Amino acid sequence: MLKTAFLFAGQGAQYPGMGQSLYETSAAARQVFQQAEALRPGTIEQCFAGSEDMLRQTENNQPCLFTVDLACAAALTESGVQADCAAGFSLGEIAALAFCGLLSFEQAFSLVCRRGEWMAKAARRHPGLMTAVLRLDEKTVTALCGEFTQVFPVNWNCPGQVVVAGEAGQLADFEARVTASKGKTIRLKVSGAFHSPFMAEAADALAAYVQDLPFATPRIPLYANVTAGLYGDPQVLVPLQVKSPVLWQKTMENMLQAQVNAFVELGPGRTLSGFLRKISGDFCCMNVEDADSCQKTALELKGAGHD
């Protein structure tokens, strides 16, 4: 019998037109988009017709991705697939909070809008960039980061890939050191040095904001980026997450140890699916980002015995 995890995509996976085919074919997905539009007019247009530059801006990216992630989950659930546990990568964790019932859609959407605004403000006040480091082990990446005062390992994604954030000039020098060490770097399509000390001001603003939110107990197990374990106090974890590393590889390993054997990536792209295949190949891995992939995933899971 399958034990299924829903994984919600994060920033960097966005593209113009994301979610449109689900809006056109799934009543449940359409409702998610309409809820977002009512709270933040223009969200649908940004998702379907926004430029890459517009979608890269954090204050647009976060509410749009949140909406698409949850629309994908709604469409798959509408097809008869239920999740046994969940996690979200970075921004995706806020979508996972809503999906798991810790907050209502309206509360989580307002949270993600404030989160995007405050992180964008912090990025303007403390400019930085992010780069993925490939072909080097974690120890080597950590040592190279230690050669710089404003460069930090922030996303532990999978074997052979660590994302690093930092000040633009130092990050360029860091990338040169990676190349000299026979590694490879790929700049990410984001607008700040997220999950690093550069986001401290955003974390402080979120800490004050979430004190008034009525968080509920998750209806299914939810895993946290900060600890890689089951979710603890959201009023601590939600603000801490924006300035702390994402322990994604360890999160997936913990899910596998908990007997999860089917993973569904929800939202644009297949980034999280790629990470999973490098962590372990002994499971079923699918994605939902449009109408075709939703139909395919629902059929595969039902065919494999998902109830």
pLDDT digits 0-9 by tens, 109-140: 999 999 999 999 999 999 999 999 999 999 99
Let me know how many helices (H) and strands (E) the chain has, helices first: 14, 8
How high is the mean pLDDT of the chain? 95
Q: Are 71 and 98 in contact (CB under 8 A)?
A: no
Position 305 scores a pLDDT of: 60
Q: Are 158 and 133 in contact (CB under 8 A)?
A: no
Catalytic residue numbers read: 90, 195
Question: Does 306 score more than 60 pLDDT?
Answer: no
* DSSP SS3 for 161: strand
Q: Which position has the higher pLDDT, 188 or 209?
A: 209
| Stated pTM of the model | 0.95
CA–CA separation, 125 and 47 (whole Å): 27
Nearest CA among 112, 91, 88 for reference residue 100: 88
Question: pLDDT tier at 13 (50, 70, 90 boundaries)?
Answer: confident
**How wide is the angle at C-alpha 210 spanned by C-alphas 108 and 58, nearest 5°?**
55
CA–CA separation, 184 and 170 (whole Å): 16
Question: Does 293 score more than 80 pLDDT?
Answer: yes
Q: In this predicted structure, which of 11-15, 20-24, 69-73, 130-134 has the lowest mean pLDDT?
A: 11-15
Q: In this predicted structure, which of 48-52, 115-119, 186-190, 285-289 has the lowest mean pLDDT?
A: 186-190
